[in-house]
A and B are shown apart, each in its own frame.
Chain A
Amino acid sequence: MRGLFRKGQGSPLLGGLVFLVTIAVAGYFWFQYSASSQKQRILYLEDLSTRLRSETVPLKFMVLSREGGDVKARLKLYDLAGREIASIEKSWPGGELYIDMLLVPVRSLGGSASADSWLAFPYRVFTDKLSAASGTLLFGSYDSGGFPEVLNGESWSAKERSAISAAFSSAMKSAAAGLPATDAAKGAFGSAAHEVSRLARFDLGIVYKLVCRVKGGVEIMEDQ
Protein backbone atom coordinates (compact mmCIF):
# COMPACT_ATOMS: atom_id res chain seq x y z
CA MET A 1 0.00 0.00 0.00
CA ARG A 2 2.80 2.38 0.94
CA GLY A 3 4.37 1.66 -2.43
CA LEU A 4 1.41 3.20 -4.24
CA PHE A 5 2.27 6.62 -2.90
CA ARG A 6 6.04 6.39 -3.03
CA LYS A 7 7.54 9.03 -5.30
CA GLY A 8 8.34 7.76 -8.75
CA GLN A 9 6.52 4.51 -8.24
CA GLY A 10 2.88 3.35 -8.51
CA SER A 11 0.32 4.28 -11.10
CA PRO A 12 -0.65 7.96 -11.53
CA LEU A 13 -3.92 6.74 -13.05
CA LEU A 14 -4.75 4.71 -9.95
CA GLY A 15 -3.83 7.65 -7.72
CA GLY A 16 -6.06 9.94 -9.74
CA LEU A 17 -8.88 7.41 -9.61
CA VAL A 18 -8.57 7.06 -5.82
CA PHE A 19 -8.58 10.86 -5.53
CA LEU A 20 -11.66 11.19 -7.74
CA VAL A 21 -13.54 8.44 -5.86
CA THR A 22 -12.65 10.09 -2.53
CA ILE A 23 -13.92 13.45 -3.81
CA ALA A 24 -17.09 11.81 -5.17
CA VAL A 25 -17.82 9.96 -1.90
CA ALA A 26 -17.15 13.09 0.16
CA GLY A 27 -19.33 15.10 -2.24
CA TYR A 28 -22.11 12.53 -1.96
CA PHE A 29 -22.13 12.63 1.85
CA TRP A 30 -21.90 16.44 1.87
CA PHE A 31 -24.84 16.63 -0.52
CA GLN A 32 -26.88 14.15 1.54
CA TYR A 33 -26.13 16.14 4.69
CA SER A 34 -27.07 19.43 3.00
CA ALA A 35 -30.29 17.98 1.56
CA SER A 36 -31.24 16.55 4.96
CA SER A 37 -30.49 19.88 6.70
CA GLN A 38 -32.51 21.69 4.07
CA LYS A 39 -35.52 19.40 4.62
CA GLN A 40 -35.33 20.00 8.38
CA ARG A 41 -35.09 23.77 7.79
CA ILE A 42 -38.15 23.67 5.50
CA LEU A 43 -40.13 21.69 8.10
CA TYR A 44 -39.12 24.15 10.83
CA LEU A 45 -40.06 27.20 8.74
CA GLU A 46 -43.38 25.65 7.66
CA ASP A 47 -44.15 24.89 11.30
CA LEU A 48 -43.20 28.42 12.38
CA SER A 49 -45.24 29.96 9.58
CA THR A 50 -48.27 27.88 10.62
CA ARG A 51 -47.72 28.75 14.30
CA LEU A 52 -47.66 32.48 13.53
CA ARG A 53 -51.01 32.12 11.80
CA SER A 54 -52.46 29.88 14.51
CA GLU A 55 -55.40 31.14 16.51
CA THR A 56 -57.53 30.39 19.53
CA VAL A 57 -61.17 31.41 19.78
CA PRO A 58 -62.19 31.76 23.45
CA LEU A 59 -65.31 33.80 22.70
CA LYS A 60 -68.00 34.20 20.06
CA PHE A 61 -70.84 36.67 20.14
CA MET A 62 -73.95 37.80 18.33
CA VAL A 63 -75.63 41.20 18.56
CA LEU A 64 -79.32 40.48 19.10
CA SER A 65 -80.80 43.99 19.02
CA ARG A 66 -80.14 47.70 19.25
CA GLU A 67 -83.10 49.41 20.86
CA GLY A 68 -83.56 52.51 23.01
CA GLY A 69 -79.86 53.29 23.10
CA ASP A 70 -79.01 49.80 24.33
CA VAL A 71 -77.16 47.04 22.60
CA LYS A 72 -78.17 43.48 23.46
CA ALA A 73 -75.82 40.62 22.73
CA ARG A 74 -75.27 36.95 23.46
CA LEU A 75 -71.72 35.83 24.26
CA LYS A 76 -70.49 32.25 24.37
CA LEU A 77 -67.21 31.16 25.87
CA TYR A 78 -65.20 28.19 24.62
CA ASP A 79 -62.25 26.20 25.87
CA LEU A 80 -59.20 25.41 23.74
CA ALA A 81 -60.87 22.25 22.44
CA GLY A 82 -63.82 24.32 21.17
CA ARG A 83 -66.24 23.10 23.86
CA GLU A 84 -68.82 25.68 24.93
CA ILE A 85 -68.44 26.46 28.63
CA ALA A 86 -70.68 29.47 29.27
CA SER A 87 -73.32 31.61 27.66
CA ILE A 88 -74.20 35.18 28.65
CA GLU A 89 -77.07 37.28 27.29
CA LYS A 90 -77.33 40.90 28.40
CA SER A 91 -78.08 44.47 27.37
CA TRP A 92 -75.63 47.30 27.81
CA PRO A 93 -76.26 51.03 27.36
CA GLY A 94 -74.48 52.34 24.27
CA GLY A 95 -74.07 51.75 20.57
CA GLU A 96 -70.69 50.07 20.19
CA LEU A 97 -69.86 46.85 21.97
CA TYR A 98 -66.36 46.46 23.47
CA ILE A 99 -65.16 42.95 24.29
CA ASP A 100 -62.11 43.15 26.49
CA MET A 101 -59.46 40.44 26.70
CA LEU A 102 -56.64 40.15 29.20
CA LEU A 103 -53.42 39.03 27.51
CA VAL A 104 -50.79 37.46 29.74
CA PRO A 105 -47.31 36.64 28.39
CA VAL A 106 -46.40 32.96 28.77
CA ARG A 107 -42.95 34.16 29.77
CA SER A 108 -44.37 35.70 32.94
CA LEU A 109 -45.83 32.31 33.94
CA GLY A 110 -42.46 30.60 33.95
CA GLY A 111 -42.51 29.62 30.27
CA SER A 112 -39.52 29.81 27.96
CA ALA A 113 -37.88 33.21 28.29
CA SER A 114 -37.60 33.53 24.54
CA ALA A 115 -41.18 32.53 23.84
CA ASP A 116 -43.29 35.35 22.46
CA SER A 117 -46.61 33.66 23.22
CA TRP A 118 -49.62 34.98 25.07
CA LEU A 119 -52.57 33.50 26.93
CA ALA A 120 -55.96 35.17 26.45
CA PHE A 121 -58.57 35.54 29.19
CA PRO A 122 -62.00 37.07 28.41
CA TYR A 123 -62.03 40.05 30.79
CA ARG A 124 -65.15 42.22 30.53
CA VAL A 125 -67.75 43.77 28.27
CA PHE A 126 -68.49 47.49 28.07
CA THR A 127 -69.60 49.97 25.44
CA ASP A 128 -68.78 53.38 24.06
CA LYS A 129 -71.21 54.90 26.60
CA LEU A 130 -70.42 52.61 29.51
CA SER A 131 -66.99 52.95 31.08
CA ALA A 132 -64.84 49.86 31.43
CA ALA A 133 -65.01 50.07 35.23
CA SER A 134 -68.82 49.81 34.99
CA GLY A 135 -68.73 46.96 32.48
CA THR A 136 -69.61 43.30 33.01
CA LEU A 137 -66.77 41.17 34.32
CA LEU A 138 -66.45 37.76 32.64
CA PHE A 139 -63.89 36.02 34.86
CA GLY A 140 -66.53 34.42 37.08
CA SER A 141 -68.24 32.82 34.08
CA TYR A 142 -65.39 30.45 33.45
CA ASP A 143 -63.76 30.10 36.87
CA SER A 144 -63.45 26.41 37.61
CA GLY A 145 -62.01 26.08 41.11
CA GLY A 146 -59.45 28.81 40.42
CA PHE A 147 -58.48 27.54 36.97
CA PRO A 148 -59.80 29.35 33.88
CA GLU A 149 -61.94 26.88 31.99
CA VAL A 150 -61.20 28.65 28.69
CA LEU A 151 -57.70 27.15 28.93
CA ASN A 152 -58.92 23.59 29.34
CA GLY A 153 -58.36 21.23 26.43
CA GLU A 154 -54.57 21.52 26.51
CA SER A 155 -52.27 19.19 28.42
CA TRP A 156 -50.77 21.63 30.91
CA SER A 157 -48.14 20.40 33.34
CA ALA A 158 -48.90 20.73 37.06
CA LYS A 159 -46.46 23.66 37.25
CA GLU A 160 -48.13 25.41 34.31
CA ARG A 161 -51.63 24.85 35.76
CA SER A 162 -50.47 26.28 39.04
CA ALA A 163 -48.91 29.37 37.38
CA ILE A 164 -52.03 29.92 35.23
CA SER A 165 -54.31 29.56 38.27
CA ALA A 166 -52.18 32.03 40.25
CA ALA A 167 -52.30 34.64 37.45
CA PHE A 168 -56.04 34.08 36.94
CA SER A 169 -56.84 34.36 40.66
CA SER A 170 -54.77 37.52 40.90
CA ALA A 171 -56.60 39.03 37.88
CA MET A 172 -59.98 38.10 39.38
CA LYS A 173 -59.08 39.65 42.74
CA SER A 174 -57.82 42.87 41.12
CA ALA A 175 -60.91 43.17 38.91
CA ALA A 176 -63.26 42.49 41.84
CA ALA A 177 -61.51 45.24 43.82
CA GLY A 178 -61.92 47.67 40.92
CA LEU A 179 -58.23 47.57 40.06
CA PRO A 180 -56.77 46.85 36.60
CA ALA A 181 -56.49 43.09 35.97
CA THR A 182 -53.47 43.87 33.82
CA ASP A 183 -51.53 44.13 37.10
CA ALA A 184 -51.95 40.33 37.50
CA ALA A 185 -48.75 39.48 35.65
CA LYS A 186 -45.71 41.38 34.49
CA GLY A 187 -46.15 42.51 30.89
CA ALA A 188 -49.89 41.76 30.77
CA PHE A 189 -52.14 44.12 28.86
CA GLY A 190 -55.78 44.42 27.87
CA SER A 191 -57.19 44.49 24.39
CA ALA A 192 -60.79 45.62 23.98
CA ALA A 193 -61.85 44.75 20.44
CA HIS A 194 -64.95 46.56 19.27
CA GLU A 195 -67.09 47.68 16.43
CA VAL A 196 -66.62 51.15 14.99
CA SER A 197 -70.00 52.40 13.90
CA ARG A 198 -68.63 54.84 11.32
CA LEU A 199 -66.72 52.00 9.66
CA ALA A 200 -68.72 48.86 10.10
CA ARG A 201 -71.22 47.75 12.73
CA PHE A 202 -71.75 44.22 13.89
CA ASP A 203 -74.74 42.96 11.91
CA LEU A 204 -77.67 41.66 13.93
CA GLY A 205 -77.92 37.89 13.98
CA ILE A 206 -74.42 37.31 12.65
CA VAL A 207 -71.96 35.31 14.76
CA TYR A 208 -68.57 36.95 15.23
CA LYS A 209 -65.55 35.36 16.81
CA LEU A 210 -62.77 36.84 18.84
CA VAL A 211 -59.55 35.46 17.44
CA CYS A 212 -56.45 35.50 19.66
CA ARG A 213 -53.10 35.26 17.93
CA VAL A 214 -50.05 33.62 19.43
CA LYS A 215 -48.18 36.96 19.44
CA GLY A 216 -50.81 38.72 21.52
CA GLY A 217 -52.97 40.31 18.84
CA VAL A 218 -56.75 40.06 19.06
CA GLU A 219 -59.02 40.23 16.02
CA ILE A 220 -62.74 40.20 15.44
CA MET A 221 -63.84 38.18 12.47
CA GLU A 222 -67.12 36.88 11.18
CA ASP A 223 -67.54 33.23 12.18
CA GLN A 224 -68.00 31.31 8.94
Chain B
Amino acid sequence: MDDRLGAFKAILFGLSDAAAFLFTKPLGLAVLVSVLLLAAGARLWTALSDRRLAAKAAGEDFGRGAAAGRALRELVGMGVRAAGALPAIAGIGIALVLLVGVADATRSVDEYIAGRKRVAELTATVRNLERRYKAIEARIDDVKDGRIKASLAFFDYKSPAVPAKTQSIDIAGKELFIDAIVCNFDYSEISAGKSVNLAIPFKVFSDEVSESDGVALTLMDEKGLPLMYKRTPDELLGIGSEAYEARLAELMAALRTDEAARGAGIVRSLYGDAVHRGVKKGDSFVVWVEQSGGLSVKDSSSF
Protein backbone atom coordinates (compact mmCIF):
# COMPACT_ATOMS: atom_id res chain seq x y z
CA MET B 1 0.00 0.00 0.00
CA ASP B 2 2.83 2.31 0.99
CA ASP B 3 4.69 1.40 -2.23
CA ARG B 4 1.65 2.25 -4.35
CA LEU B 5 1.12 5.48 -2.48
CA GLY B 6 4.79 6.31 -2.90
CA ALA B 7 4.63 5.66 -6.66
CA PHE B 8 1.47 7.77 -6.94
CA LYS B 9 3.12 10.58 -5.04
CA ALA B 10 6.22 10.38 -7.23
CA ILE B 11 4.09 10.76 -10.37
CA LEU B 12 2.01 13.53 -8.78
CA PHE B 13 5.05 15.48 -7.63
CA GLY B 14 6.80 14.94 -10.99
CA LEU B 15 3.86 16.28 -12.98
CA SER B 16 3.36 19.15 -10.53
CA ASP B 17 7.03 20.14 -10.62
CA ALA B 18 7.05 19.99 -14.43
CA ALA B 19 3.91 22.15 -14.67
CA ALA B 20 5.24 24.64 -12.11
CA PHE B 21 8.54 24.79 -13.98
CA LEU B 22 6.95 25.34 -17.42
CA PHE B 23 4.47 27.99 -16.34
CA THR B 24 6.21 29.88 -13.54
CA LYS B 25 9.95 29.83 -14.23
CA PRO B 26 11.53 32.07 -16.92
CA LEU B 27 13.47 29.13 -18.35
CA GLY B 28 10.33 26.97 -18.38
CA LEU B 29 8.37 29.72 -20.13
CA ALA B 30 11.20 30.13 -22.68
CA VAL B 31 11.11 26.36 -23.35
CA LEU B 32 7.31 26.42 -23.71
CA VAL B 33 7.35 29.43 -26.09
CA SER B 34 10.17 27.85 -28.11
CA VAL B 35 8.23 24.58 -28.49
CA LEU B 36 5.10 26.49 -29.58
CA LEU B 37 7.10 28.56 -32.06
CA LEU B 38 8.77 25.43 -33.42
CA ALA B 39 5.41 23.73 -33.81
CA ALA B 40 3.96 26.79 -35.54
CA GLY B 41 7.04 27.01 -37.79
CA ALA B 42 6.80 23.32 -38.69
CA ARG B 43 3.12 23.73 -39.44
CA LEU B 44 3.83 26.77 -41.69
CA TRP B 45 6.68 24.98 -43.42
CA THR B 46 4.48 21.93 -44.11
CA ALA B 47 1.65 24.10 -45.43
CA LEU B 48 3.96 26.09 -47.71
CA SER B 49 5.72 22.95 -48.98
CA ASP B 50 2.40 21.27 -49.77
CA ARG B 51 1.21 24.39 -51.58
CA ARG B 52 4.45 24.71 -53.56
CA LEU B 53 4.23 21.05 -54.66
CA ALA B 54 0.58 21.49 -55.66
CA ALA B 55 1.42 24.66 -57.65
CA LYS B 56 4.30 22.88 -59.38
CA ALA B 57 2.08 19.91 -60.29
CA ALA B 58 -0.51 22.30 -61.69
CA GLY B 59 2.19 24.30 -63.56
CA GLU B 60 1.34 27.42 -61.64
CA ASP B 61 3.73 30.04 -60.36
CA PHE B 62 4.23 30.13 -56.53
CA GLY B 63 6.13 33.34 -55.90
CA ARG B 64 7.04 35.21 -52.73
CA GLY B 65 3.78 37.13 -52.62
CA ALA B 66 1.73 33.95 -52.90
CA ALA B 67 3.87 32.29 -50.24
CA ALA B 68 3.46 35.27 -47.91
CA GLY B 69 -0.32 35.27 -48.45
CA ARG B 70 -0.46 31.54 -47.80
CA ALA B 71 1.63 31.88 -44.63
CA LEU B 72 -0.58 34.71 -43.38
CA ARG B 73 -3.74 32.69 -43.99
CA GLU B 74 -2.19 29.74 -42.20
CA LEU B 75 -1.26 31.94 -39.19
CA VAL B 76 -4.76 33.40 -39.02
CA GLY B 77 -6.14 29.85 -39.23
CA MET B 78 -3.92 28.82 -36.33
CA GLY B 79 -5.13 31.79 -34.33
CA VAL B 80 -8.77 30.94 -35.02
CA ARG B 81 -8.22 27.28 -34.06
CA ALA B 82 -6.44 28.37 -30.88
CA ALA B 83 -9.38 30.67 -30.03
CA GLY B 84 -11.74 27.77 -30.65
CA ALA B 85 -9.71 25.62 -28.29
CA LEU B 86 -9.74 28.24 -25.50
CA PRO B 87 -12.26 26.35 -23.30
CA ALA B 88 -10.08 23.22 -23.58
CA ILE B 89 -6.95 25.27 -22.82
CA ALA B 90 -8.69 26.86 -19.84
CA GLY B 91 -9.72 23.37 -18.70
CA ILE B 92 -6.14 22.16 -18.98
CA GLY B 93 -5.01 25.27 -17.08
CA ILE B 94 -7.48 24.63 -14.28
CA ALA B 95 -6.46 20.95 -14.18
CA LEU B 96 -2.79 21.96 -13.92
CA VAL B 97 -3.54 24.45 -11.13
CA LEU B 98 -5.49 21.74 -9.28
CA LEU B 99 -2.65 19.28 -9.86
CA VAL B 100 -0.10 21.70 -8.42
CA GLY B 101 -2.47 22.49 -5.53
CA VAL B 102 -3.04 18.82 -4.70
CA ALA B 103 0.72 18.14 -4.90
CA ASP B 104 1.48 21.10 -2.63
CA ALA B 105 -1.21 20.04 -0.17
CA THR B 106 0.17 16.48 -0.17
CA ARG B 107 3.66 17.82 0.46
CA SER B 108 2.37 20.02 3.29
CA VAL B 109 0.61 17.04 4.89
CA ASP B 110 3.80 14.95 4.52
CA GLU B 111 5.83 17.76 6.11
CA TYR B 112 3.29 18.03 8.92
CA ILE B 113 3.49 14.28 9.60
CA ALA B 114 7.32 14.45 9.51
CA GLY B 115 7.10 17.47 11.85
CA ARG B 116 5.02 15.45 14.33
CA LYS B 117 7.72 12.78 14.38
CA ARG B 118 10.38 15.47 14.84
CA VAL B 119 8.43 17.03 17.73
CA ALA B 120 8.11 13.61 19.37
CA GLU B 121 11.85 12.95 18.95
CA LEU B 122 12.85 16.38 20.24
CA THR B 123 10.43 16.14 23.16
CA ALA B 124 11.98 12.80 24.15
CA THR B 125 15.48 14.26 23.72
CA VAL B 126 14.73 17.30 25.87
CA ARG B 127 12.93 15.17 28.46
CA ASN B 128 15.91 12.82 28.70
CA LEU B 129 18.41 15.69 28.92
CA GLU B 130 16.34 17.62 31.48
CA ARG B 131 16.01 14.54 33.64
CA ARG B 132 18.00 14.25 36.84
CA TYR B 133 17.97 11.56 39.46
CA LYS B 134 18.60 11.61 43.15
CA ALA B 135 21.91 10.03 44.12
CA ILE B 136 22.47 11.14 47.72
CA GLU B 137 20.40 12.86 50.38
CA ALA B 138 22.41 14.43 53.18
CA ARG B 139 20.92 15.46 56.51
CA ILE B 140 23.10 17.43 58.88
CA ASP B 141 22.38 16.14 62.36
CA ASP B 142 24.77 18.40 64.23
CA VAL B 143 27.58 20.89 63.76
CA LYS B 144 29.38 21.43 67.02
CA ASP B 145 32.94 21.94 68.25
CA GLY B 146 34.27 21.98 64.71
CA ARG B 147 32.74 18.62 63.79
CA ILE B 148 30.00 17.69 61.37
CA LYS B 149 27.63 14.84 62.13
CA ALA B 150 25.57 13.85 59.12
CA SER B 151 23.35 11.05 57.85
CA LEU B 152 23.71 10.13 54.21
CA ALA B 153 21.20 8.11 52.19
CA PHE B 154 22.26 6.69 48.82
CA PHE B 155 19.82 6.06 46.00
CA ASP B 156 19.94 4.62 42.53
CA TYR B 157 17.92 5.98 39.64
CA LYS B 158 15.46 3.09 39.62
CA SER B 159 14.48 3.48 43.28
CA PRO B 160 14.31 7.19 44.15
CA ALA B 161 11.99 6.64 47.10
CA VAL B 162 13.91 4.03 49.07
CA PRO B 163 17.62 4.43 49.78
CA ALA B 164 19.84 1.52 48.78
CA LYS B 165 22.02 2.22 51.81
CA THR B 166 22.47 4.75 54.58
CA GLN B 167 25.58 5.77 56.47
CA SER B 168 26.34 8.10 59.35
CA ILE B 169 29.37 10.37 59.21
CA ASP B 170 31.29 12.22 61.89
CA ILE B 171 34.09 14.39 60.56
CA ALA B 172 36.00 17.57 61.50
CA GLY B 173 35.20 20.70 59.49
CA LYS B 174 32.45 23.10 58.52
CA GLU B 175 32.07 22.19 54.85
CA LEU B 176 30.98 18.69 53.83
CA PHE B 177 32.42 17.15 50.65
CA ILE B 178 30.79 14.11 49.07
CA ASP B 179 33.10 12.57 46.49
CA ALA B 180 31.82 10.41 43.64
CA ILE B 181 33.04 8.88 40.43
CA VAL B 182 30.98 10.41 37.67
CA CYS B 183 30.44 8.79 34.30
CA ASN B 184 28.72 10.95 31.70
CA PHE B 185 27.62 9.04 28.65
CA ASP B 186 27.61 10.38 25.14
CA TYR B 187 24.73 12.77 24.41
CA SER B 188 23.39 10.44 21.73
CA GLU B 189 23.04 7.70 24.38
CA ILE B 190 21.38 10.05 26.88
CA SER B 191 19.03 11.80 24.49
CA ALA B 192 17.87 8.48 23.07
CA GLY B 193 17.21 7.26 26.62
CA LYS B 194 19.62 4.32 26.18
CA SER B 195 21.84 5.27 29.14
CA VAL B 196 21.74 7.36 32.26
CA ASN B 197 24.76 9.18 33.63
CA LEU B 198 26.12 7.43 36.70
CA ALA B 199 27.54 8.64 39.99
CA ILE B 200 29.18 6.23 42.41
CA PRO B 201 29.90 7.94 45.75
CA PHE B 202 33.04 6.64 47.39
CA LYS B 203 34.28 9.08 50.00
CA VAL B 204 33.30 11.88 52.34
CA PHE B 205 35.77 14.51 53.49
CA SER B 206 35.70 18.15 54.58
CA ASP B 207 37.39 21.49 54.16
CA GLU B 208 39.76 20.53 56.97
CA VAL B 209 40.20 16.82 56.26
CA SER B 210 41.86 15.93 52.98
CA GLU B 211 40.40 13.33 50.67
CA SER B 212 43.04 10.75 51.57
CA ASP B 213 42.10 11.07 55.24
CA GLY B 214 38.38 11.12 54.53
CA VAL B 215 35.72 8.57 55.39
CA ALA B 216 35.33 5.78 52.83
CA LEU B 217 31.79 4.91 51.91
CA THR B 218 31.03 1.22 52.03
CA LEU B 219 28.92 1.08 48.90
CA MET B 220 30.55 -1.80 47.06
CA ASP B 221 29.89 -5.49 47.60
CA GLU B 222 32.58 -8.16 47.83
CA LYS B 223 32.76 -8.30 44.00
CA GLY B 224 33.37 -4.58 43.76
CA LEU B 225 29.90 -3.85 42.40
CA PRO B 226 28.17 -0.70 43.65
CA LEU B 227 25.31 -1.60 45.96
CA MET B 228 23.30 1.32 44.63
CA TYR B 229 22.98 -0.35 41.26
CA LYS B 230 22.38 -3.85 42.55
CA ARG B 231 18.91 -5.34 42.40
CA THR B 232 17.10 -8.30 43.78
CA PRO B 233 15.91 -10.78 41.12
CA ASP B 234 12.27 -9.75 41.45
CA GLU B 235 13.21 -6.14 40.67
CA LEU B 236 14.83 -7.09 37.39
CA LEU B 237 12.37 -7.00 34.54
CA GLY B 238 13.32 -9.04 31.52
CA ILE B 239 16.86 -9.74 32.66
CA GLY B 240 18.16 -12.33 35.08
CA SER B 241 20.13 -11.19 38.11
CA GLU B 242 23.28 -12.98 36.88
CA ALA B 243 23.08 -11.33 33.48
CA TYR B 244 22.43 -7.98 35.14
CA GLU B 245 25.41 -8.34 37.46
CA ALA B 246 27.58 -9.46 34.55
CA ARG B 247 26.51 -6.34 32.66
CA LEU B 248 27.22 -4.19 35.70
CA ALA B 249 30.63 -5.83 36.12
CA GLU B 250 31.41 -5.05 32.46
CA LEU B 251 30.46 -1.45 33.05
CA MET B 252 32.56 -1.22 36.17
CA ALA B 253 35.47 -2.75 34.28
CA ALA B 254 34.99 -0.12 31.60
CA LEU B 255 34.87 2.55 34.28
CA ARG B 256 38.11 1.28 35.77
CA THR B 257 39.89 1.72 32.47
CA ASP B 258 39.40 5.06 30.82
CA GLU B 259 40.65 3.78 27.49
CA ALA B 260 38.15 0.91 27.52
CA ALA B 261 35.26 3.25 28.26
CA ARG B 262 36.27 5.71 25.58
CA GLY B 263 37.03 2.87 23.20
CA ALA B 264 33.48 1.68 23.59
CA GLY B 265 32.49 5.10 22.24
CA ILE B 266 29.78 5.62 24.81
CA VAL B 267 31.47 7.57 27.59
CA ARG B 268 31.83 11.31 27.18
CA SER B 269 33.67 11.99 30.41
CA LEU B 270 34.85 10.03 33.43
CA TYR B 271 36.26 11.77 36.49
CA GLY B 272 35.77 12.35 40.18
CA ASP B 273 33.54 15.11 41.50
CA ALA B 274 33.41 16.18 45.14
CA VAL B 275 30.33 18.35 45.61
CA HIS B 276 30.25 20.36 48.78
CA ARG B 277 28.49 22.93 50.89
CA GLY B 278 29.00 24.84 54.07
CA VAL B 279 26.64 23.20 56.56
CA LYS B 280 24.78 23.93 59.77
CA LYS B 281 22.58 21.80 61.99
CA GLY B 282 19.27 20.89 60.38
CA ASP B 283 20.44 21.43 56.80
CA SER B 284 19.25 18.87 54.30
CA PHE B 285 20.29 18.72 50.68
CA VAL B 286 20.21 16.36 47.73
CA VAL B 287 22.96 15.54 45.25
CA TRP B 288 21.45 15.04 41.80
CA VAL B 289 22.96 13.36 38.77
CA GLU B 290 22.16 15.68 35.86
CA GLN B 291 21.55 13.94 32.56
CA SER B 292 22.92 17.02 30.80
CA GLY B 293 26.19 16.22 32.61
CA GLY B 294 27.73 16.40 36.08
CA LEU B 295 26.28 16.66 39.57
CA SER B 296 24.22 19.38 41.19
CA VAL B 297 23.19 20.09 44.77
CA LYS B 298 19.84 21.45 45.84
CA ASP B 299 18.09 22.01 49.14
CA SER B 300 15.72 19.18 49.97
CA SER B 301 13.05 21.79 50.63
CA SER B 302 13.33 23.04 47.03
CA PHE B 303 11.38 20.02 45.84
Any B CB within 8 A of the CB of A158: no
A-facing residues in B131-153 (Cβ within 8 Å): 132
Q: Which residues of chain B are near A183, meaning CB under 8 Å? A: 278
Task: Give Cα A194–Cα B209 distance, bound, in whole angstroms.
Answer: 16
A216 near B112: Cβ-Cβ < 8 Å: no
Report which of A194, A198, A217, A220 forms a contact with B290, defined as CB distance below 8 A.
A217
Any A CB within 8 A of the CB of B41: no
B273 near A49: Cβ-Cβ < 8 Å: no
Contact with A along B276-303 (1 / 0, CB 8 A): 1110000001000010111111110010
Task: Give Cα A214–Cα B205 distance, bound, in whole angstroms.
Answer: 27
12 sample A-B contacts, Cβ–Cβ < 8 Å, listed by A number: A42-B122, A49-B125, A132-B175, A180-B277, A180-B278, A194-B274, A196-B271, A200-B258, A214-B292, A215-B132, A215-B293, A217-B294
Q: Which residues of chain B are near A48, meaning CB under 8 Å? A: 126
Task: Give Cα A211–Cα B268 distance, bound, in whole angstroms.
Answer: 12
A219 near B175: Cβ-Cβ < 8 Å: no
Q: Which residues of chain B are near A190, meaning CB under 8 Å? A: 175, 177, 275-277
Among the stretches A7-15, A33-41, A147-155, the one at the interface with B is A33-41
Q: Which residues of chain B are near A220, meaning CB under 8 Å? A: 269, 271
Task: Give Cα A171–Cα B269 distance, bound, in whole angstroms.
Answer: 29
Any A CB within 8 A of the CB of B235: no
Task: Give Cα A179–Cα B295 distance, bound, in whole angstroms.
Answer: 23
Taking CB as reference atom, which chain B residue is nearest A179?
B278
Q: When A49-B122, A196-B181, A199-B270 are in contact, do A38 and B115 touch as well, CB less than 8 Å?
A: yes
Task: Give Cα A1–Cα B188 distance, bound, in whole angstroms.
Answer: 63
Task: Give Cα A199–Cα B125 distance, bound, in whole angstroms.
Answer: 30
Q: How many A residues touch the partner, as a band?
A: 35 or more
Contact with B along A109-147 (1 / 0, CB 8 A): 000000000100000001111111100000000000000
Interface residues of A: mostly helix, strand, loop or mixed?
mixed
A residues neighboring B (CB under 8 Å) = 31, 34-35, 38-39, 41-42, 45-46, 48-49, 52-53, 94, 96, 98, 103, 118, 126-133, 179-180, 182-183, 187, 189-196, 198-200, 211, 213-221
Any A CB within 8 A of the CB of B184: yes
New A-B contacts (6) at CB < 8 Å, excluding given A38-B115, A132-B177, A180-B278: A94-B210, A127-B210, A179-B174, A180-B276, A183-B278, A192-B276
Q: Which residues of chain A are near B299, meaning CB under 8 Å? A: 187
CB distance from B272 to the nearest CB of A (A): 4
Any A CB within 8 A of the CB of B46: no
